[in-house]
């Protein structure tokens, strides 16, 4: 079972395009400390050969280089296939470090679910989510990358599926769509997926019958439009880092969390087109009609008041203090759930993902 887990972590790290040092550490674990011939064959059969033509070629070249150097440094034999493919890349890719323009790569994020984490023989199920992500933050934008807070919020949803099943949600800042896919996986009832500015999510989730696509920038969304959406729960990942956007974000949250207007009094609407806006909005509202209104214990009920869950890395204390002040001015209550309602660790292979830096907040109307 230990080897099965090691092999699963190795493949998952490779498909997620984790840093090559991370993938190599999983390869050593599978080989009992070194990259044996059997491990090389496993990597070729289950990772590299399936990735040719699909994986981002420069990443594959860098990984091959690291893999070959590791094997040669231990004076072990290298599979001919590895040498041959690396030679092809040496000719076709001359600059392995150059990522020009808004280059996208397909990453596969694998959430791993042990049936019984306390059992050594537990079988592991997985949810694999393919996402097109930007590899160049200078040419792309923040919404085209997978941020740690998005991973954390996704783990939270998958760890407490009953909180979200058959509910309606509104996500502020949809990013590449990972949170929305996880909401769909736990069978949320409806989901309005929003486009933000000129960004589009590179997934096929919008073809699902319970998903609609919206363009709803925070500063341009009217109160009447937000009241008509009126979800049970609001979600946001890494949306409080920009002080210029905070007043617009808190305004949106305040309207959506207003418990004086029940959703039964307001018509449920969907939008087929964009809502007009003259601003260049780099942040916006991803509307996801899928949610769960729940208390701090995690129970859910259709009669409960709307609730928001925001996951975030606190990069700047002053910016976060500004957010707290705006929340208080809007008559909203905020609770830190980081230690009281932690999600399960569903991404154990992802060494680049630092869960300790992320905090989870619950917001509601006072």
Q: What pLDDT does 100 receive?
A: 56
74 & 216 share domain: no
65 & 167 share domain: no
The range of the structural domain enclosing residue 156 comes to 141-365
Q: What pLDDT does 121 receive?
A: 46
As a whole number of angstroms, the distance between CA 307 and CA 290 comes to: 13
Q: What pLDDT does 348 receive?
A: 96
Cα Rg, the chain, nearest whole Å = 22
Taking only the tens place, the pLDDT of each residue in 100-136 is 556 778 899 999 997 654 444 455 689 999 988 877 6
Q: What pLDDT does 116 receive?
A: 56
As a whole number of angstroms, the distance between CA 257 and CA 307 comes to: 6
| Number of domain units in the chain | 2
Q: What pLDDT does 95 receive?
A: 58
As a whole number of angstroms, the distance between CA 7 and CA 11 comes to: 6
SS3 state at 128: strand
SS3 state at 219: helix
202 & 329 share domain: yes
As a whole number of angstroms, the distance between CA 130 and CA 179 comes to: 12
Q: What pLDDT does 19 receive?
A: 94
Residues in the chain predicted with pLDDT less than 70, given as ranges, are 94-102, 115-124, 136-144, 189-213, 260-303
181 & 73 share domain: no
285 & 148 share domain: yes
268 & 154 share domain: yes
Report H helices in 215-272: 223-229, 246-256
* 8 A C-beta contact, residue 160 and residue 113: no
* 8 A C-beta contact, residue 286 and residue 180: yes
The answer to the question of residue 129 being in a domain is no
* 8 A C-beta contact, residue 179 and residue 193: no
Taking only the tens place, the pLDDT of each residue in 194-221 is 543 333 333 344 445 566 667 778 888 8
The answer to the question of residue 124 being in a domain is no
What pTM does this model have?
A: 0.81
The answer to the question of residue 135 being in a domain is no
319 & 174 share domain: yes
Q: What pLDDT does 298 receive?
A: 37
14 & 161 share domain: no
As a whole number of angstroms, the distance between CA 135 and CA 44 comes to: 24
The last residue of a domain, from among 65, 92, 119 = 92
Q: What pLDDT does 138 receive?
A: 47
Please give the order of strands across the beta sheet that includes 233-237: 211-215, 190-195, 168-171, 233-237, 307-313, 358-365, 332-336
CATH number for the domain harbouring residue 196: 3.40.50.150
Would you give the DSSP letter of residue 231? -
The dihedral built from the CA positions of residue 147, 149, 153 and 159, taken in this order, carries a sign that is positive
């Amino acid at each position: 079972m230990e080897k099965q887990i090691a092999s699963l972590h190795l493949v998952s790290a490779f498909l997620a395009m984790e840093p090559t040092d991370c993938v190599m550490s999983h390869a050593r674990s599978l080989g009992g400390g070194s990259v044996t011939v059997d491990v090389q064959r496993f990597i070729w059969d289950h990772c590299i050969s399936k990735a040719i033509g699909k994986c981002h070629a420069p990443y594959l070249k860098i990984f091959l280089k690291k893999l070959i150097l590791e094997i040669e440094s231990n004076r072990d034999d290298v599979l001919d296939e590895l040498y041959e493919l690396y030679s092809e890349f040496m000719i076709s890719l001359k600059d392995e470090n150059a990522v020009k323009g808004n280059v996208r790569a397909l990453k596969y994020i694998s959430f791993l679910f042990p049936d019984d984490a306390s059992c050594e023989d537990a079988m592991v199920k997985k949810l694999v989510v393919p996402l097109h992500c930007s590899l160049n933050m200078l040419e792309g934008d923040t919404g085209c990358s997978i941020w740690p807070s998005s991973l954390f919020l996704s783990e939270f949803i998958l760890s407490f599926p009953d909180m979200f099943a058959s509910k309606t949600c509104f996500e502020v800042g949809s990013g590449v769509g990972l949170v929305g896919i996880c909401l769909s996986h736990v069978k949320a009832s409806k989901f309005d997926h929003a486009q933000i500015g000129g960004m589009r999510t590179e997934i096929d989730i919008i073809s699902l019958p319970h998903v609609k696509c919206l363009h709803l920038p925070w500063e341009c969304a009217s109160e009447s439009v937000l009241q008509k959406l009126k979800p049970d729960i609001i979600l946001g990942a890494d949306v409080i880092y920009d002080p210029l956007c905070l007043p617009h974000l808190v305004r949106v949250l305040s309207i959506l969390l207003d418990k004086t207007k029940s959703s039964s009094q307001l018509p449920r609407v969907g939008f087929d087109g964009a809502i007009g806006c003259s601003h260049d909005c780099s942040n916006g509202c991803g509307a996801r009609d899928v949610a769960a209104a729940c208390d701090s214990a995690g129970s859910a009920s259709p009669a409960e008041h709307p609730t928001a869950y925001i996951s975030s890395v606190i990069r700047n204390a002053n910016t976060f203090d500004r957010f707290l002040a705006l929340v208080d001015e809007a008559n909203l209550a905020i609770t830190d759930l980081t230690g009281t309602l932690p999600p399960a660790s569903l991404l154990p292979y992802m060494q680049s993902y630092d869960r300790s830096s992320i905090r989870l907040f619950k917001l509601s109307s006072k």
